[in-house]
Structure 1
């Protein structure tokens, strides 16, 4: 009898040990609060109405409270999600790849479609821009040339930004590594002054990188079209093409209010896969994932002007809508091209 009791106690103790081990493995459980962490680009007051509307709808769909976590740094947003301190995030494709590498419970939820309403044209653009009145410094034989950016003051967004670092740095390295002087050029080399740039700045947001250029602190800047479209207007040429000129609107909100009327032109423009909404499955759980995905990809969201502002609207919103744009489910594999350039 004593032997039988001892065996039962050992078995119970083993189960308890296993449970404790599972609790320390980094897994978490869903609770009554859904925490959304936002990149610096989407943390400004201009997008508060979009954040609040998304939070309201998610709360309505799940019956749970929604908390917004605003950030001033890409890495903070990524680590918050990776470390199980947020359920949901809207981030660039490079940020998603980094987060997924850090915690495979971080998975894609939805992504904005292109004008067609499909993933076929679900893209935005990574720009390299220079001030209009200095553009001739960056041309050879009348054409923009990457050779001219050597020894300049260069502004990136963040080294975790897809369009504000990964895509432009890949193009820059591919170009300059053909030259003997820069044969061993690496991403790390582009993060500080020398061997290519005289000075490197990080705007910490696409808006910040653009203002670095327009305020005269940088000679060349990398940033994307969608993150500055609320603040600028096309002044000359065709959108997202080399040589197009953009002007800061007279009523532009912070941080562009100090550079209104300033103009910049594009020396390069490269397509990039649209940014996803992503979740930490260990924190949010399958039930809430399903409810939120159904909500975000619904007509209710696609037709909500606080989230998708019409093209001619004066209202700021997370997305603009000119045709059939909406949010669509997206699989992890769709971002494999970003993984390739990250190797």
Structure 2
């Protein structure tokens, strides 16, 4: 991707984050409040069900899921049940139709659930190293197998010009970093060329001789998408750093920079246990808004929501090394801890930059 576009995209996103954070800090009245009218059954709820996307449903993240559940149980006195999934759409529908009370989704998954049912609202997102919303981002990568990255160099910079006509794997069209953000970046880049001035995200959904990509695959999870690359089913894939960090190590370059090379760990768990030592390189990196824990307000009373917020934003949660894992730890967790990372309260409007990608 051209330097100018990446720089502009990054500056714009950081500016929006700062503005949103400033707004939320300056006026608590702007934050959406949970519904106060609830059914009697909601008040008597004994069990809270949390639904997880495929990326966070693996056995290697069971301890992290359980620790989040344990903190919620401690504060609310309710039992927590974890519902893992193998499909984005099933997870989204589960929270939207009330078969789950809470869920952990990417920004796009949350927006789709909210579109289905406005009672689905965000509670918290993991912060950045500052402990605030200002740097609450992770990264969407376009990656290729090691040895193929030279095809994507234009002069001294990496470029995505040559991804046209390649075999490409997304995660799911409901994935933020595995479809929504990278597809918007691809369209924006190629719209500058006369040949592709009418290209839009719909043109990226399917492959074929008359389409932008020769073939399009969907991995179903970021792990499954990376497997599509490692097994040579795809030439280029879109994945996120946070979703595969437990299985890889940086061996050259800087973290989250085009040109960096990563290696599958020798002791990586499934589905990477059959690919120890395999390497891949990044050709494009784009920042993405962090993913929220959400609640279905039709299922959970306002009082209980406040208790859940207390649990999620507590010091105990922020200091739980199975949830926010120190960089030098061997524990496989959901989030990395380098400084002051913690869960911070968030409102629906914070995700408007992702919504706006659909309108462009």
User: TM-score when scaled to structure 2?
Assistant: 0.85
User: Which has the higher mean CA deviation after the structures are superposed, 57-66 or 279-288?
Assistant: 57-66
Partner Cα distance (1:179, 1:115) in 2: 38
TM-aligned CA deviation for residue 179 of structure 1: 2.9
Partner Cα distance (2:344, 2:324) in 1: 14
- 1:28/1:104 Cα in 2 relative to 1: closer, same or farther (>3 Å)? farther
Q: Which residue of 1 aligns with 2:244?
A: 228
Q: Which residue of 2 aligns with 1:330?
A: 346
Does residue 271 of structure 2 align to residue 255 of structure 1? yes
Q: Which residue of 1 aligns with 2:216?
A: 200
The answer as to whether partners of 1:39 and 1:70 remain within 8 angstroms in 2 is: yes
Q: Which residue of 2 aligns with 1:293?
A: 309
User: Which has the higher mean CA deviation after the structures are superposed, 129-138 or 152-161?
Assistant: 129-138
Q: Which residue of 1 aligns with 2:83?
A: 69
Partner Cα distance (2:97, 2:160) in 1: 39
- 1:285/1:261 Cα in 2 relative to 1: closer, same or farther (>3 Å)? same
**1:146 aligns with one of 132, 156, 160:** 160
TM-aligned CA deviation for residue 309 of structure 1: 1.4
Partner Cα distance (1:265, 1:28) in 2: 54
Partner Cα distance (1:51, 1:223) in 2: 22
The answer as to whether partners of 1:28 and 1:283 remain within 8 angstroms in 2 is: no
Does residue 304 of structure 2 align to residue 302 of structure 1? no
Which segments of 5 or more consecutive residues in structure 2 lack a partner in the other structure?
1-37
Deviations 1:144-168 (A, max 9, x none): 2222001111011110111110011
Deviations 1:243-302 (A, max 9, x none): 111111111111111211111111110111111100001111211110010110010100
The answer as to whether partners of 2:75 and 2:310 remain within 8 angstroms in 1 is: no
Partner Cα distance (1:199, 1:43) in 2: 28
TM-aligned CA deviation for residue 27 of structure 1: 8.2
* Partner secondary structure for residue 116 of structure 1: coil
Q: Which residue of 2 aligns with 1:37?
A: 51
Q: Which residue of 2 aligns with 1:242?
A: 258
**1:267 aligns with one of 278, 283, 291:** 283
The structure having more radius of gyration, on CA atoms, is: 1
Q: Which residue of 1 aligns with 2:355?
A: 339
* Partner secondary structure for residue 55 of structure 1: helix
Does residue 235 of structure 2 align to residue 219 of structure 1? yes
User: TM-score when scaled to structure 1?
Assistant: 0.90
**1:131 aligns with one of 136, 145, 155:** 145
- 1:336/1:27 Cα in 2 relative to 1: closer, same or farther (>3 Å)? farther
Which segments of 5 or more consecutive residues in structure 1 lack a partner in the other structure?
1-25
**Aligned pairs, how many?**
318
- 1:143/1:274 Cα in 2 relative to 1: closer, same or farther (>3 Å)? same
Alignment of 1:33-182 (within 5 A): 33-182=47-196
Partner Cα distance (2:40, 2:186) in 1: 41
Q: Which residue of 2 aligns with 1:9?
A: none
Partner Cα distance (1:28, 1:142) in 2: 64
Q: CA RMSD in A?
A: 1.5
* Partner secondary structure for residue 133 of structure 1: coil
TM-aligned CA deviation for residue 29 of structure 1: 4.8
The answer as to whether partners of 1:28 and 1:84 remain within 8 angstroms in 2 is: no
The answer as to whether partners of 1:241 and 1:269 remain within 8 angstroms in 2 is: yes
Q: Which residue of 1 aligns with 2:4?
A: none
* Partner secondary structure for residue 259 of structure 2: coil
